[in-house]
Amino acid sequence: MIDSLTLEVADLEHDVLTGIYSEETGKPQPLRISISAQMRVAERYEPDTPLEASKNYMDLKFAATDALPPGVHFKLIEAVADHICETLFLQDERVEAVTVKIVKLAIAEKDEKIGITLTRHRR
């Protein structure tokens, strides 16, 4: 059996320039973003293990917010998810795989969750 470590940020809401329809372009849309990053596992985590032995959860939040280029319009939310994955791969070589789930909040009518889930593995 192989050990694994997955860091997660769930249900982060952030406004992103995205969409293909005229009513979507030119203004940010609220997205609900969840991220799971599979990491290489340390041999053991003792009570005094330093943060460097893992990854700061805030790096995941940063990848879905401040790391998105300002003023760039992503036609597809798949491109938003791809950018988040690439940011995390560039941040830390221990990240082996990233899954990003994005729900477009502006198009929901009855609390349905319409969106995508993208999983990328380090190549």
Domain ranges of the chain: 5-121
What's 5-121's CATH class? Answer: alpha beta
Distance CA 60, CA 40 (A): 16
What is the tens place of the pLDDT at every residue in 13-54? 999 999 888 777 888 999 999 999 999 998 899 999 998 888
pLDDT attached to residue 31: 97
**pLDDT for residue 108 is more than 90:** no
Nearest to 81 by CA among 113, 112, 115, 123: 115
**pLDDT for residue 60 is more than 80:** yes
What is the tens place of the pLDDT at every residue in 69-101? 999 999 999 999 999 999 999 999 999 999 999
